[in-house]
Amino acid sequence: MTRAVAIGECMVELNLSGARQAAIGFAGDTFNTAVYLSRLGVPVSYATALGAEDPFSAAILRLMAEEGIDASLVARAPGRLPGLYAISRDAAGERRFHYWRSQAPVRDVFRLSDEAGLAPALLRALRQANLVYLSGVSLAVVGEAGRAKLLALLAAATHAGAAVALDVNYRPRLWPSAEVARAALSRAAAFARFVSLSEEDDAELGGWRAPETAEVVERFADRTVRVRSEDGVLDIRPTANPPAAVDTTGAGDAFNAAYLAARIRGETATYAVAAARKLAEAVIAHEGAIIPRSAMPAPAS
């Protein structure tokens, strides 16, 4: 059975619903994808760092257990709290994010893993995985030293046969400059079998291109999805209007999960895009990045 390891950050999510009201949830780009991969039948482990004594970290671990995500690669940091972000939305469902994450344990995830004796387990898990998933956010939050360690781990994983999937997910505020981001993404993408990005990512990165050896999936504002692979370039246009957006948070993460789950099962790119669109459209019809299990759509036909 295909096994996946996702690497990144899970934060506390405050979903603002008024001047003094917010619903508390837990999310993060690669964490959201891990949840949806698990729901789609892909066993997944999540590599991150959390606090050791606080109720928020404990709640994240409970959520991982509920979603069937293996937490054996989670390092713990006494005296520290996971990152936090709040979401406000406009009438069209588009979001503004407000972050408190500068001291989040994930920034020291590899040092904390070493101190906890988890480094051998992480290396072993990556070598045994069929799929390794990370994002531009993963690369940004671990810093320069963490990126060097992460790139070495990706090299070991690909050498052992894992397919690396990289979601570009460029967030300028997390990077010292676009030049630093482009260089880091290029180094990580050199290991990638799959690369995902949005039209906005492409524009903000100033023409950054994934390697020709990767299968690249680009999502455009008009909902066209372009898949570039060794078979050529395929533009897949939508056949129906999407539902009204309540909250677009996590839609791209869900898209990536469904696309990858289909592709690693051997489905065509056309089928994978249809499955990915179906899940992403279910996500935007609900508040928050992770929708209730009862709202998960039936498999694409």
Q: Each residue of 176-198: pLDDT tens digit?
A: 999 999 999 999 999 999 999 99
Portion of the chain with pLDDT greater than 70, in percent: 97
- Structural domain contains residue 300: no
Distance CA 89, CA 127 (A): 41
Two tokens at 186?
A: 């290029």
Residues assigned a catalytic role: 253
List the beta strands (DSSP E) in 19-64.
21-27, 44-51
The per-residue pLDDT for range 230-284, each reduced to its tens digit, is 889 999 998 878 788 887 889 999 999 999 999 999 999 999 999 999 999 999 9
| pLDDT at residue 116 tops 90 | yes
pLDDT at residue 301 in the model? 65
Report in angstroms the alpha-carbon separations of 251 from 69, 82, 113: 20, 23, 30
Q: Could you give the CA distance from residue 33 to residue 281 in angstroms, rounded to a whole number?
A: 15
Q: Say how many C-beta atoms besides its own lie within 10 A of residue 172's C-beta.
A: 11
> How high is the pLDDT of residue 22?
86
160 located within any domain:
yes
Is residue 301 a part of any domain in this protein? Answer: no
Q: Is 216 inside any structural domain?
A: yes
pLDDT at residue 52 greater than cutoff 70:
yes
H/E element, 198: strand 192-198
How confident is the model at residue 134, as a pLDDT?
98
Mean confidence (pLDDT) of the chain = 93
CA distance linking residue 162 with residue 173, whole number of Å: 31
**Interval 67-113: pLDDT, tens:** 999 999 999 999 999 999 888 877 765 668 888 998 999 999 999 99
Q: CATH code at 96?
A: 3.40.1190.20
How many domains, in total, are found in the chain? 1
230 domain-assigned: yes
Tell whether 76 is covered by a domain.
Answer: yes
Vertex 227: Cα angle to 222 and 229 (nearest 5): 165
Domain span holding position 144: 4-295
Q: How far apart are CA 139 and CA 135, in angstroms?
A: 7
